[in-house]
Amino acid sequence: MPQLFVALGAIAAGVAVVLGAFGAHSLEGRVSPERVETFRTGVEYQMYHALALLVVGWAVAQGWGPILHWAGYCFLAGIVIFSGTLYLLVLTDTGWLGAITPLGGVAFIVGWALLAWAALVGG
């Protein structure tokens, strides 16, 4: 199972780099500066949590316990929901997607809490 989280983290990080380049080179001038910043926020949070998935993979390999699997799934859900809705909001100019974005933020918070719990109690 550690390989799954490492692979997902690596894929998410690579996609974040691609999307960051897309945002920097293709969005400016096509959408408002505020929307470009929104897209950048999605990329930043995706990269942070891609790295968190790598940490989860490492910790699972160290035998920290099953709580880590939930942390990894929360980070993955957060990437899809938080960053994904920000990308869609910018690319489709569909403002109501912003109402869904906080659910991804909650998934990130739960993931971090679970990672901390696993570190403190051996998960």
- Residue 7 domain boundaries: 2-121
**Quick one: pLDDT at residue 1?**
73
For the entire predicted model, the pTM comes to 0.94
Buried/exposed 12-32: b ≥16 CB within 10 Å, e otherwise: bbebbeebbeebeeebeeebe
Across 82-100, average pLDDT: 94
Query: Considering the chain, what percentage of its residues have pLDDT values greater than 70?
Result: 99
Q: In the structure encoding, which two tokens stand for residue 18, read together?
A: 């691609």
- Does position 123 have pLDDT exceeding 70, yes or no? no
pLDDT band at 95; cut points 50, 70, 90: confident
pLDDT band at 2; cut points 50, 70, 90: confident
Total domains in the chain come to 1
